[in-house]
Amino acid sequence: MGAEVATTVSKVRKALRVAGRAAAITGAVGVAGIGYAAVIERNWFRLRRYEIPLLPPGSPRLRVLHLSDAHLTPGRRMLMDWIRDLDRHEPDLVINTGDSLGHRDAVGPFIDALGPLLDRPGAFVYGSNDLFSPQLKNPARYLWRSSKSDYRKRTVPDLPWRELGAAMSASGWLDLNNRKGTLKAGDLDIALAGIHDSHIGLDRYDDIAGPADPAADLRLGVTHSPEPANLDRFTADGYQLLLAGHTHGGQICMPLYGTLVTNCGIDRRRAWGLSRNGAAWLHVSGGLGTSPYAPVRFCCRPEASLLDLTPTAPRG
Ligand SMILES: [Fe+2]
C-alpha cells in the first residue's frame, strides 16, 4: 500500500513538472511573439509595388504613391524617416487616405515626415483618427467588435484636423473630403473625387455624385474606409481606380490564413492590396502604423504602395 502511494505521488510530481515546463515555454513564446510584433514587425516597413493598366493607349506612365494610416506620434522617428525617404521613388502623385495622426502634437512631425513629397501633386481625405485622439482599450477588442461603436459618444473632435488639412492644402494638395477636384500630374489630367470617413458617418457621397469627367485621362476615387456601398457608387460614376486605407490589412494576421477582420464592410480577401470592384480597380493600403494603444503588427508589416499606372493596349 505504502509503495503504491509513493508511486502515485511520484507520478503526480512528474506531471506537475511537465505542466510547469509547458507553461513556462508557452509564456516565453507569448512574450517573444508580442516583443516581435511590437518592436520588430511594427518598424519593418515595406513598399509594395503594383502595375495597373488603365491609362489611355499611348499615355505616359504615372506613378502614384499611396500612403495611409500613419497614426503618427511625435516619437516615431523610424516611421518619419521612412516616409520622408519615399520621395526618392519620384512619384508623380501622392494620395493620403487618412488616419495620419495619433497624437495632438503630431501635425508638425507628420508634415515634416512628408517633407519633399509635399512639393509633388497630392490629395487627401481624413480618417476618424485625424479628428479623435486614440483611447486606451483592450488592443484585441477589434477582433470581435468594430471600432465604429467607439465613436458613438464622441461627437466633438479633439485633434487638430483643421491644421493638418491646412498644412497639406497650403502645399497644393487637394482636400477631397466630400469634394471633387482636378489636378495635373505627369502630363495627365486627373479627375478626383473623395469622401470623408464613413466609419464615423461623415461621408456625403451625394455631394460628389455624378459621372466622373469623361475627358480626364484618369479618374480616381478616394476614401478612408473601403465601405462597399461607397465603392460601388464610385464605380458606377466611372472612377477607374479607388484608393482606401483603414483596415491596417487586419494588423494581427494568422499565418497561412491572413486577415482575420477588416473593421468595416469590405471582405477580408480585399483587406489590403489590389483587387477589382466591378469595372474599377481597388487598392486598399495595409497602412503604415497602429494606434499607440495597440502597438503591434503580426504577419502584416506596415506598408506604403507604389502604383505604376500604365496605358492599356490599343484595341484591335
Ligand atoms: Fe487607421
> N- to C-terminal Cα distance for the chain?
95
Do 155 and 289 lie in one domain? The reply is: yes
Cα 316 to ligand 1 centroid, rounded to whole Å: 44
What is the predicted pLDDT for the residue at 138? 67
What is the predicted pLDDT for the residue at 200? 94
Cα 199 to ligand 1 centroid, rounded to whole Å: 11
Do 39 and 53 lie in one domain? The reply is: no
Going 91 to 114 to 235 to 252, the CA torsion angle's sign is positive
20-54 tens-digit pLDDT = 786 777 677 777 888 888 889 999 999 999 999 99
Cα 247 to ligand 1 centroid, rounded to whole Å: 7
Average pLDDT, integer, range 134-158: 75
- Does some domain include residue 316? no
Do 52 and 122 lie in one domain? The reply is: yes
Cα 225 to ligand 1 centroid, rounded to whole Å: 9
How is residue 283 written as a grid cell? 487598392
Encode 171-205: b = buried (16+ Cβ within 10 Å), e = exposed.
eebbbbbbbbeebebbebebbbbbbbbbbbebbeb
Is 117 a residue whose pLDDT tops 70?
yes
Strands 218-222 and 241-244: parallel
Q: Whose grid coordinates read 502623385?
A: 93
Strands 188-194 and 179-185: antiparallel
Q: Is residue 123 within 8 Å of residue 173, measured between CB atoms?
A: yes
- Does some domain include residue 70? yes
Cα 99 to ligand 1 centroid, rounded to whole Å: 5
Cα 200 to ligand 1 centroid, rounded to whole Å: 13
- Does some domain include residue 139? no
DSSP string, 175-206: E-TTEEEEEEETTEEEEEEE---GGGT---GG
- Does some domain include residue 269? yes
**Protein residues placing their CB within 5 Å of the ion ligand 1:** 69, 99
What is the predicted pLDDT for the residue at 141? 65
- Does some domain include residue 126? yes
How is residue 274 written as a grid cell? 489590389
Average pLDDT, integer, range 127-143: 82
Q: What is the DSSP letter of 140?
A: T
- Does some domain include residue 140? no
Do 28 and 164 lie in one domain? The reply is: no
Higher pLDDT, 21 or 229: 229
- Does some domain include residue 115? yes
* Residue-averaged pLDDT of the chain: 92
Is 295 a residue whose pLDDT tops 90?
yes
Burial environment of residue 283 by CB neighbours within 10 A (0 to 12, 13 to 18, 19 or more): buried
Cα 302 to ligand 1 centroid, rounded to whole Å: 11
The domain that contains 220 carries what CATH number? 3.60.21.10
Average pLDDT, integer, range 58-80: 97
Is 4 a residue whose pLDDT tops 80?
no
Q: How many domains does the chain have?
A: 2
Do 200 and 241 lie in one domain? The reply is: yes
The rounded percent of the chain whose pLDDT value lies above 70 is 94
Largest CA-CA distance found in the chain, in angstroms, rounded: 96
Residue span of the structural domain in which 62 resides: 47-134+147-311
What is the predicted pLDDT for the residue at 140? 66
Coil, strand or helix at 4: helix
Cα 268 to ligand 1 centroid, rounded to whole Å: 16
pLDDT band at 190 (very low <50, low <70, confident <90, very high): very high
95-110 tens-digit pLDDT = 999 999 999 999 999 9
Q: Whose grid coordinates read 509635399?
A: 118
Do 111 and 13 lie in one domain? The reply is: no
Do 193 and 72 lie in one domain? The reply is: yes
Cα 149 to ligand 1 centroid, rounded to whole Å: 15
Going 30 to 36 to 42 to 46, the CA torsion angle's sign is negative
- Does some domain include residue 142? no
Do 31 and 121 lie in one domain? The reply is: no
Q: At what angle do helices 107-114 and 161-170 cross, to 10 degrees?
A: 30
pTM passes above 0.85: yes
What is the predicted pLDDT for the residue at 142? 63
What is the predicted pLDDT for the residue at 16? 73
Do 33 and 180 lie in one domain? The reply is: no
